[in-house]
Structures are given as structure tokens and as C-alpha cells.
Amino acid sequence: MVGLPSSGLMKSRFDELYDYDVLRTTTEPTAFVVRLADPLLVLGGSQRDEILRDDVEDQFMVRRRRGGGGVVLVQPDDLWLDWWIPRSDPRLNDDVTRNSLLAAQWWYRAVAPVLQAVPKIHGGPLQVDRELRDVCFCGAGPGELFVDGKKLLGVTQWNVREGCFLSTLIPAWPLHDISLALRDVPDGLAESLENVTTARDLQILAQAEELIDVAIAASGVTRRRNLMLLP
């Protein structure tokens, strides 16, 4: 979950998701609400381009984030909410697990009142089969939410001396199409992705805007940026 310093970034043919150098100069806590026109693949900071098919860009936009975790498929209507928390902010902690739990608590306050089942926060270490580590939503990491045993919220973070970037996602739709992008599809991927629940499954998709607003309010971050990612 700990992000890479600039000097250790993976060389890649894909553009970075954010202008991270600008982000590091941001002194005010900021929430980023991201919208998509088309499905997007986001590689983790330490992943090699070669895990994806050579023709992947014929089907998907591809970007690279800084931070831990595997490749994730992000789709229109997903609840995608990121936070930049400067190092001087009292919300931030040197313990990366506790930082992930912040995001879990903020989202918990948003979704718990509208779900029939009580969501559970995974507070322990990363738990994922080795062969599935390259793909997000195939395991359980600190600060991630589960409903009836199925994963709802994914969390990753990037830590640098200036602050912490927390990235969170609640999928709107099933994630099986990620297999179309992988050079080698690991055994058990389809079964693992069946253990993901979506905003559609839980009938909260129509409330997406309100839930994002509540999560931001719970974080106490007052500066908000709405971003639209186009092809």
C-alpha cells in the first residue's frame, strides 16, 4: 500500500493518471471526484506494462497511478473518490494502515445507513492469493469494506514526504472484463471477481452523488475538485 518515491517510478508507455508533481505542491486537503466517459484500466505504480496485452489500447484507455496494488478496471458510473491529505494535516498518520482506515470510516458513514446489511471494515494486513496479486479487488486490504462477505470498496494509497494520496473505488458494474486486457489470465480470477459486490447489486447506484457527498463531508475535507477523464 505504500507508494513509490518519484525516483523509483516504473518506466511505462502509459501516461500517469494525475499530475503528481503538481499534487505534491498542494497544501490544502482536497477531495477529487472522478468521472469517466469510457472504461479505464489503471496500473499500479510498480506493475510492468507487460502484464497487459499488446493490443490493450484497442479496447481500453490505460493510465498508471502512483501507489500500491494491482491493475484495476474503472467504469462509467463507478463511485471514484480520491483524497490528497498534506503531511501537516492532523488527520494523517505515519501508519499507512491507519490512513487506509480513515478512508474506510468516511465511506462507512456514507453507505452504512442505506444498506440492508452492516458493512465490515477489513482492519488486518493484505490477504490475497499470490497468483491474483496483479488484479485489484481479488483480495482484502486494510480499510476496504465488505458487505455480506463480498468486497465493496477498494482502497490504495501513495505516500510521499508532502502527504498521502488515498484512492477509493466502489464499482458500479461487474469487473470480469478485466480478463480481456490481461496477457495471462490467472487461474481463479473469474471466481475471485464473483466475490465483489457492486453499487448496482446493492441498489445504491441512483444515490451515488449523495453518497459521495456524505463521504467527503465525513472526511472533513472542504475543498473539492470534479474531474472528467475523456479518451
The confidence score (pLDDT) of residue 9 equals 67
The continuous run of DSSP H or E covering 62 comes out as strand 61-64
| Beta-carbon contacts of residue 106 (< 8 Å; ≥ 6 apart) | 215, 216, 218, 219
Whether the CB-CB separation of 178 and 138 falls below 8 Å is answered with: no
Q: Which CATH architecture has domain 6-229?
A: 2-Layer Sandwich (3.30)
Q: How many other β-carbons are positioned within 10 Å of the β-carbon of residue 118? A: 9
Q: Which three cell numbers stand for residue 33?
A: 471526484
Domain boundaries, the chain: 6-229
Using only the alpha carbons of the chain, give its radius of gyration. Answer: 16
Q: What is the pLDDT of residues 17-75, one digit of tens each?
A: 999 999 999 999 999 999 999 999 999 999 999 999 999 999 999 999 999 899 999 99
Where residue 10 falls among pLDDT bands split at 50, 70, 90? confident
Q: How many other β-carbons are positioned within 10 Å of the β-carbon of residue 22? A: 8
